[in-house]
């Protein structure tokens, strides 16, 4: 099996078990995780709050004022949804969790309307 076939099969399994999320949601969370880890001096475990903030930052960087709309189109409407995406990836063996990790680590970290609309960094986009 090629890497592409494996990735396609994995995304199909994720989509069938968790149909509320678009496959791009999983890829974006993984890209956000990669960016957070790459920003560190040394790789280490990333907490839910750190990943949620990483998702927000990368979404704004890539999609600008449309960041919230894009994430919501993929099924991510709140930080709790990020936890569901992460734990779906854990369930499939893509990510590894530590014993103390839980979905609650992603609960109510920030409000999407506030984080993406009211607090949007307009001056950074000029």
Q: What is the pTM of this model?
A: 0.89
CB 79 within 8 A of CB 25: no
- Tens-digit pLDDT profile for residues 100-123: 999 999 999 999 999 998 877 776
What pLDDT score does 46 carry?
96
Contacts of 69 (CB under 8 A, 6+ apart): 63
First to last CA, the chain: 46
Alpha-carbon Rg for the chain in angstroms = 15
CB 50 within 8 A of CB 99: no
Distance CA 21, CA 25 (A): 6
What pLDDT score does 14 carry?
92
For residue 102, how far is the Cα from the chain centroid?
15
């Amino acid at each position: 099996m090629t890497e592409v076939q494996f990735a396609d099969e994995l995304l199909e399994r994720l989509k069938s078990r968790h149909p509320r999320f678009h496959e791009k949601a999983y890829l974006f969370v993984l890209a956000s995780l990669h960016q957070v880890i790459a920003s560190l001096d040394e790789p280490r475990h990333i907490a839910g709050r750190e990943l949620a903030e990483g998702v927000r930052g990368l979404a704004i960087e890539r999609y600008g004022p449309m960041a919230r709309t894009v994430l919501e189109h993929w099924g991510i409407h709140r930080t709790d949804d990020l936890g569901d995406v992460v734990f779906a990836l854990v369930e499939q063996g893509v990510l590894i969790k530590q014993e103390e990790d839980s979905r609650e680590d992603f609960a109510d970290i920030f409000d999407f309307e506030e984080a993406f609309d009211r607090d949007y960094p307009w001056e950074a986009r000029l």
